[in-house]
Amino acid sequence: MAKEFSVPPVVFPSAGTTGVPHQRRAPGAAASPFHPPRPSNAGPANPSIPFMSFDIGSAPPASSFSAPVFAPSGGALSVSGSFDDELPLLEELGINTRQIWRKTLSILNPFRLNASLHEDADLSGPFLFVMAFGLFQLLAGKFHFGIILGWVTGAALFLYVVFNMLAGHNGNLDLYRCLSLIGYSMLPMVILSALSLFVPHGGIVIFSIAAVFVLWSTRICTALLVELAACGNENRSLIAYACWLVYMLFALLIIF
């Protein structure tokens, strides 16, 4: 036989009886429908919410990169730039390939040397010549990259000191220009190192060819130093002797 339990009824408060305590209804009375309480300060039925609409399909394709630039006063300035207006990467790095090519062509003809092309000193061309010189020496079985770089630096310091001592206070040769001129005058030594791969060493032929290329480099370096630096014409023979010593060392490095 099932046992019955008496459950007390539950009464939910209506909207008008918020502060009235709960009352139990009689067991036989009908329950009133539940009405949830509403806030007293209700807002408008259809509030207007601001929003932004974006129409992607109607926007024209951008042909150049543009970015807003903010002014110091707080306003925005629209500045657009194109990639076509930018300089090439080599020119941004300070490497002018056309200028290097013109200087190289002027050095190939020692009797018509154009010294005005070498007024703007650079180290890009000399670095290429030194690396080519070391590469040809490497093909000959000689790893001389460190020796070549060290000798070029020492030769630049040597000619810089000698020239400024001869010119005195009137000399205007700086070390950067001196290093650039010595590096560009290394082009005959590069050609000699390439020819030495096909000429047998130890004979009179290689010494004769080396003498010609040493005189070639000496003439170019002397002419450039005299033309581009002040008070160099008075001591041309001494400057030529110093240049001959420098390039003779490089020729002996190639032969032996």
Residue 128, domain member (yes or no):
yes
CA distance 100 to 228: 17
Residue 204, domain member (yes or no):
yes
User: If you average pLDDT over every residue of the chain, what do you get?
Assistant: 78
Looking at residue 167, its pLDDT comes to 80
CA distance 106 to 119: 13
Question: Does residue 234 have a pLDDT over 60?
Answer: yes
Residue 141, domain member (yes or no):
yes
Task: List the beta bridge partners of residue 78.
Answer: 68
User: 32-41, 75-84, 113-122 — which one is most confidently predicted on average?
Assistant: 113-122
- As for how many domains the chain has, the answer is 1
Six token digits for residue 50? 């601001």
Residue 58, domain member (yes or no):
no
pLDDT digits 0-9 by tens, 118-176: 888 899 999 999 999 999 999 999 999 999 999 999 999 999 998 888 887 777 888 99
Looking at residue 59, its pLDDT comes to 52
Residue 185, domain member (yes or no):
yes
Q: Which domain holds residue 220?
A: 116-255
Q: Which residue has the higher pLDDT, 37 or 141?
A: 141
Residue 4, domain member (yes or no):
no
Start-end of H helices in the chain? 89-92, 97-108, 124-139, 145-167, 175-184, 187-195, 204-228, 236-255
Over range 58-80, report the average pLDDT: 49
Q: With beta carbons less than 8 A apart as the criterion, state whether 146 and 152 touch.
A: no
Six token digits for residue 139? 């093909």
Residue 153, domain member (yes or no):
yes
Residue 247 one-letter amino acid: Y
Q: With beta carbons less than 8 A apart as the criterion, state whether 8 and 24 touch.
A: yes
pLDDT digits 0-9 by tens, 175-184: 999 999 999 9
Residue 65, domain member (yes or no):
no
